[in-house]
Amino acid sequence: MTDQPAARPAARPAAVATLQEDNDRVRVTEFRFAPGAETTPHVHQWDYVVVPQTDGELLIIAPDGSETRAPLTSGQSYYRPAGVDHNVINGGEAEVVFIEIEMKAHPIPPIA
C-alpha cells in the first residue's frame, strides 16, 4: 500500500462584493455570501463597521487556522480596528448580506 496525499478541500465559492462608494474618507461595500462562500484571507487596512442586512452566522478563520463562529443580527452593527487578518465564510445555510464601511485615516489638523 502506498501513501496518498491528503485530499484538498474543494474550493469555496467567492463572496460577491459590490462597491457602493469610495472616496478619500470612506469605502462602502456590500458583501453577499451564498452558503459556504468566502472572502479569502485578507487584512483590513482601515477601521471598519459592518452593518448586517440579514441574520446569519459567519465562520472566521485566523491566520493560525483557529476558527470562531460569529452570529449576525440584521441591523446590529459592529466595529473592528484596522489590522484584522482573517478569512470570512458564510457558515450557515442561507445567504448572508452585510454592508462594510471602511473609515480611511483622515485626521483633522490640530487647532493652533
Q: Which residue type does 75 have?
A: G
Count of domains observed in the chain: 1
- Burial (0-12, 13-18, 19+ Cβ within 10 Å), 5: exposed
pTM: 0.85
- Give the residue numbers spanning the domain of 39: 16-103
User: Is 96 inside a domain boundary?
Assistant: yes
Per-residue pLDDT for the chain (112 aa), expressed as one digit of tens each?
445 554 445 689 999 999 999 999 999 999 999 999 999 999 999 999 999 999 999 999 999 999 999 999 999 999 999 999 999 999 999 999 999 999 998 766 777 7
- Assign residue 78 the CATH number of its domain: 2.60.120.10
Among residues 30, 28, 26, 85, the alpha carbon closest in space to that of 54 is found at 30
Which amino acid is located at 49 in the chain?
A: V
